[in-house]
Amino acid sequence: MDVAQFLLRAVQLYPQLPAAIHDDKVLSYKELYISVNKMANVYQKFLGRGEGWAVLSMNSIPFLQSMYALPFCRSVLVPLNWRCSATELAYIIKNAGCKGILVGIELESLWEDIKAQLDFHMVSIYENPTYNPAFSLSTLMAAASPEFHLTPVQEDEPTIIMYTSGTTGLPKGAELSHKNIVSNAYHILTIMNGELENHPVYLHACPMFHAADGPNSHRITWLAGCHVITSKFVPVEAYQLIEKLKITSLFLIPTMINSFNQVQNITTDTSSVLTIAYGGAPCPVEVMRRGKEIFKNAHFIQVFGTTELSPLATYMPWRYIDPDGAYKEFAHKRALSCGIPIPGVRVDIFDDDLKPVPRNTIGELVASGPNVMLGYFKNPEATKKSIVNGWYLTGDMAFMDEDGFVYIVDRKKDMIISGGENIYSAEVELCLYNHPSIVEATVFGVPHSHWGEVPVAYVVIRPGSHTTEAELIAHCRSKLAHFKCPTFVKFLDELPKGGTNKILKRKLREPYWANRSAKI
């Protein structure tokens, strides 16, 4: 298995098809292949086999080129989340031992801040041709050969290190092999709506530095589909691209579906969209249903995964959550499930002793298969805790019903223990989302002198709506046990979000637990 095979197949069979579009720039597969060869020749001057190269860029064609040029070199891509601080990124670069970096347009000042914290020299290549002309990507590629000699690769050699957010400490680098990435592409192709029979047109709405987009989009190249690139997700602009370029496929985070839903007076033709995969967080039923009203021809496919799984583990086909479909009697219940194991991946629920639990019993979700990462880069202790006998321990609390459908109830770290009772924040959040005034909600535990911790909620209300703290607490109490309900509610104009628009619960939670030896 070799990541290079994605591009090699496409250029061999369909050299004239459009491969990438960004603003007014269009590359065919032949042009993309030649440009990747040139970029590989540039990169190979500065790094060797198995060495890391960082990419600090918003979504761009050079980012896409790097996704293949570095595997061509048999080197390792280290994508950086440009929303992180310079200190965090400097740590990642040091930890990964990067030999050089590609710096994207508008991120040069962030790179200067990072560079000031490094105690070693790195080669810097810039997408902006005027920032440092001698080391501009266009200058270096213009002088490079359009031919590149590929050497054989072992499928267990690393090809990408993706750093996960540090929830209790420093970021950890999930080291993914060629086998991991190719296996994941195989797995995705088994579930996508008709993509094998067509050349999909895929909108890179999520950041390419994230597992939700980068590794997931290799299948598009494999099928000689078109990569439509937008630097950042802006719903109105995304609508325009969907209509203009006849987008057929997207991957979204539920908050992004909600952002589409909130755009007023949309008359865009979305009929070309056939598949919307979504994941990264639970999607409230009403948010998903409103999305279906907008994207009428789309099959919504819920997926679950983690960076460490390259990234997918389970999926939920639309037929099981379509409220008007053949399985509509199960629609309400199944809409809360993250689905069944994706073909090629084993999934189970384990107790604290790493033994399988009975159906409908909450335990930790685990997964095994060819998509499980090699380990955490230079962190054998964390690897040993996370991978046991080939099983990756996700840290998600879940149960599997009698039909094999998986339901995630919370992250282990997000479970609130109040007076000895387990409270799953996702359950309370879903209850809040069912209130007509709520656009976004997040729930977490804060310290309490008697109960240990109690749940609280932070919410954003719909424009033009009005509600009160007392009304929202009463709403929850009408549907949930009282001990599960928020003890207070805070109203914000916007909830903090990370690189893929996932709500950053920890940023709201941390101040309440500051200067405490225990976080529960």
Instruction: Let me know: does 260 contact 291? Beta carbons within 8 Å.
Output: yes
- Strand order of the β-sheet with 452-461 is 438-448, 452-461, 489-491
For residue 422, give both structure tokens. 């387990």
Cα separation values, 124 from 76, 91, 93, 132, Å: 16, 17, 13, 9
CB atoms closer than 10 angstroms to residue 234: 13
Q: Cβ-count burial of 478 within 10 angstroms (0-12 exposed, 13-18 middle, 19+ buried)?
A: exposed
- The answer to whether the CB of 123 falls within 8 A of the CB of 99 is yes
Angle at alpha carbon of residue 211, lines to 208 and 213, rounded to 5°: 45
Tokens describing residue 277: 């995969």
Region of 367 on the Ramachandran plot (φ > 0 left; ψ -120 to 50 alpha; else beta): beta
Greater confidence (451 vs 224) lies with 224
pLDDT for 437: 95
List of residues 6+ apart from 326 with CB closer than 8 A: 319
Which residues contact residue 240 at a Cβ distance below 8 angstroms, ignoring those fewer than 6 apart? 268
Res 168 pLDDT > 50: no
Selection from 440, 428, 435, 431 nearest residue 491 by Cα: 440
Between CA 352 and CA 13 the distance in angstroms is 50
Instruction: Sketch out the chain's domains with CATH numbers.
Output: 4-319 (3.40.50.12780), 423-513 (3.30.300.30)
Q: What is the pLDDT of residue 501?
A: 73
Which pLDDT band holds residue 500 (cuts at 50, 70, 90)? low
pLDDT (tens digit, 9 = 90+) per residue, 65-114? 999 999 999 999 999 999 888 888 999 999 999 999 999 999 999 999 99
CA dihedral for 210, 179, 305, 194, sign (positive or negative):
positive
Residue 499: is its pLDDT beyond 70? no
Alpha carbon distance 435, 437 (integer Å) = 6
Predicted confidence at residue 520, as pLDDT, reads 43
Q: What is the mean pLDDT of residues 455-463?
A: 95
pLDDT attached to residue 79: 97
Task: Tell me the per-residue pLDDT of 291-317, one tens digit each, with 9 for 90 and over.
Answer: 989 999 998 888 999 999 999 999 988
Structure confidence at residue 506 (pLDDT): 83
- Give the angle 384-385-387 at the CA atoms, nearest 5°: 65
Q: At a CB cut-off of 8 Å and minimum separation 6, what does 405 contact?
A: 316, 320, 334, 337, 339, 340
350 - beta bridge partners? 356, 364
Determine the average pLDDT of the residues in 118-128: 94
How high is the pLDDT of residue 370?
A: 98
Indicate if the pLDDT at residue 148 is higher than 90: yes
User: 10 Å Cβ neighbour count for 164?
Assistant: 14
Among residues 291, 187, 315, 283, the alpha carbon closest in space to that of 242 is found at: 291
Check pLDDT > 90 for residue 42. Answer: yes
Sign of the CA dihedral running 345, 346, 348, 352: negative
Instruction: With beta carbons less than 8 A apart as the criterion, state whether 351 and 293 touch.
Output: no
Decide if pLDDT at 341 tops 90. Answer: yes
The residue-averaged pLDDT of 306-329 equals: 82
Judged against a pLDDT cut of 80, whether residue 64 lies above it is answered with: yes
Neighbours of 172 (CB within 10 A): 25
pLDDT band at 516 (very low <50, low <70, confident <90, very high): low
pLDDT at 219: 95
Q: Two tokens at 358?
A: 């009975």
How many Å apart are CA 235 and CA 251, to the nearest integer?
14
Q: What is residue 517's predicted lDDT score, i.e. its pLDDT?
A: 42
pLDDT band at 449 (very low <50, low <70, confident <90, very high): confident
* pLDDT of residue 377 exceeding 70: yes
- Rounded to the nearest 5 percent, the helix, strand and coil shares of the chain are 35, 25, 40
pLDDT score of 283: 72
Tell me: the pLDDT tens digits for 354-373? 999 999 999 999 999 999 99
pLDDT tens column, 249-267: 999 988 899 899 999 888 9
Kindly write down the DSSP assignment for every residue of 182-240, as one continuous string.
HHHHHHHHTTSSSGGGS--EEEE-S-TTSTTTTGGGHHHHHTT-EEEE-SS--HHHHHH
Please give the share of the chain, as a percent, with pLDDT higher than 70.
95
Q: Which residue has the higher pLDDT, 215 or 327?
A: 215
Residue 389: the pLDDT is 95
Closest CA to 315 of 291, 299, 293, 328: 299
Contact (CB, 8 A) for 503 and 414: no
At 279 the pLDDT is 85
For residue 342 the two structure tokens come to 């994706």
Tokens (6 digits) for 220: 């598009």
| Cis before 133? omega within 30 | no
- Alpha-carbon distance of 364 to 107, in angstroms, equals 39
Say which DSSP state 320 is in.
G
Can you tell me whether residue 275 is helix, strand or coil?
strand
Is residue 410 pLDDT above 60, yes or no? yes
Q: Are 310 and 457 in contact (CB under 8 A)?
A: no
pLDDT band with cut points at 50, 70 and 90 for residue 165: low
Does 17 have pLDDT greater than 80? Answer: yes
